[in-house]
Amino acid sequence: MQVKEKENVETTVDTRGLFCPLPLTIVSKKLKEIPEGKRLKVLADDKAFKKDVKFWCQETGNKLIDFKEVDGHYEAIIERGKGFHGEGLWEKIKFISLGIKLHIIQHILDLLPSKKPKYLITFVSIAEGLRADKWLKERGIDDYVLLPVPDEIYPHCGLVFGLRSKEKAVEIFNTLKENKFAVEDIHIVDRDKKYPVLQI
């Protein structure tokens, strides 16, 4: 007996009534909770979701299995992938270079404990973090550091903004959120490497 392509759904998330970037933020967080190869069913009614989810899947290495409109809302089936690693040769080179750069910064900070960030802002994708970084720098905001996402938060490649001050972390997070960037959470850097989410 052949298993249908759309089966194997691990869980369903309902984002109806929410608007960009909230649906993708919720989808990203939920997808990270399920194993690779498992699928998430998403219900959405934001008109931007159709375009956003296709683009987001491409830039995160997840697979959009099915997308349809049902009774005035969208239904998408997304399979969790292994993360984005670049498609063409130039993209792969840029991706690897970024990873090397972020890990070098992390190692330097490991040698300077007094400079290590205490708060980490996460994003729905590497590309979204890079867009947010460019946008903030264009506005003269640069009191954070780009770092690789800790494996304990997300075991695949990713980036976070590292900040020493809770107030500055909350300020930057809220600024990005108000300007429609798909930020996920602020994580607290703790000794046990559990990285709890800061409740704001």
Residues with catalytic roles: 20
DSSP 101-148: HHHHHHHHHHH-GGG--SEEEEESSHHHHHHHHHHHHHTT---SEEEE
For residues 65 and 41, give the distance between their C-alpha atoms in angstroms, rounded to a whole number: 10
For residues 76 and 165, give the distance between their C-alpha atoms in angstroms, rounded to a whole number: 38
Q: Tens-digit pLDDT profile for the chain (200 aa)?
A: 334 445 578 889 999 999 888 898 999 889 888 888 899 999 999 998 988 898 888 878 889 999 999 999 999 999 998 776 556 677 677 777 888 888 899 989 989 888 899 999 999 988 899 999 999 999 999 999 999 999 898 877 789 999 999 999 999 999 999 999 999 999 999 888 889 999 88
Number of neighbouring beta carbons within 10 Å of residue 77: 20
Residue 28: name the closest of 61, 4, 2 by CA: 61
Domains of the chain: 9-79 (3.30.110.40), 89-188 (3.30.70)
Residue 6: name the closest of 81, 72, 63 by CA: 63
At residue 86, the pLDDT reads 58
pTM for this entry: 0.76
List b or e across 91-124, with b for residues whose CB sees 16 or more CB atoms inside 10 angstroms. eeeebeebbeebeeebeebeeeeeeebebbbbbb
What's 30's DSSP letter?
H
What's 35's DSSP letter?
-
Helix/strand/coil for 168: helix
CB 66 within 8 A of CB 41: no
